[in-house]
Amino acid sequence: MRTSFDFSPFARSTVGFDRMLRLLDGGAGAGEAPSYPPYNIAKTADDQYEIAVAVAGFSEDELEVKVHDGQLTIKSTPGQAGKEEVSYLHRGIARRAFELRFSLADYIEVSGAHVDNGMLHVELVRNVPEAKKPRSIAIGKADTKKALTAEEAA
C-alpha cells in the first residue's frame, strides 16, 4: 500500500525552496492552507520574489509585516475608530483580522513592502554570500615536469 502526499500547501507558505518542493511534489490531499486573505507568490527574477496579498479595505496603518528567525509574518489589526454604524444589505468585503506566516529559505531577505490598489506587495530577494556562490575552476594541462626519483632527491 502506497500513500501519496500533496506538498503544494507547503509551496504556498514557503519562499525560495523551489527545487526542494519540486522534488517533494506528490499525489493527493494534505492539509489546508489559509484561504483568507487570498495571496500570490511569484518569482519575478532569478533571485527575486514577490508575495501579493489582497488587502482591500485595509489601510497601511492596519497592516504589519515582520521578519523573525526566517519567518515572515503579515498581520492585520482592523481598526474601528471613526466607523459609523452602517446597515449592510450585502457585505462581500471582509475586514476581519488575519495572520499569514511564510517560512523563508536561507539568504532570503525582505527588501520592501507597499500597498497599491488594495494589494500588499512584499518584495523578497535572495542574497547569497560570495563564499557560498558556485564558482568555476579552470582546468589546465597536466604538469610536464619530470617526477624526482629517489636518487635525485638525495
Residue 122 lies in a domain: yes
Residues 6+ apart with CB under 8 A from 52: 39, 40, 42, 119, 120, 121, 122
Q: Whole domain around residue 103: which residue ranges?
A: 34-82+91-130
- The pTM score is 0.64
Residue 21 lies in a domain: no
| DSSP tag of 60 | G
CATH of the domain at 103: 2.60.40.790
Residue 56 lies in a domain: yes
Show the cell assigned to 134. 558556485
The runs of H, that is alpha helices, within 3-144 are 8-12, 18-24
pLDDT in tens, 26-64: 433 444 567 789 999 999 998 899 999 999 889 999 999
Peptide bond into 78 cis (omega under 30): no
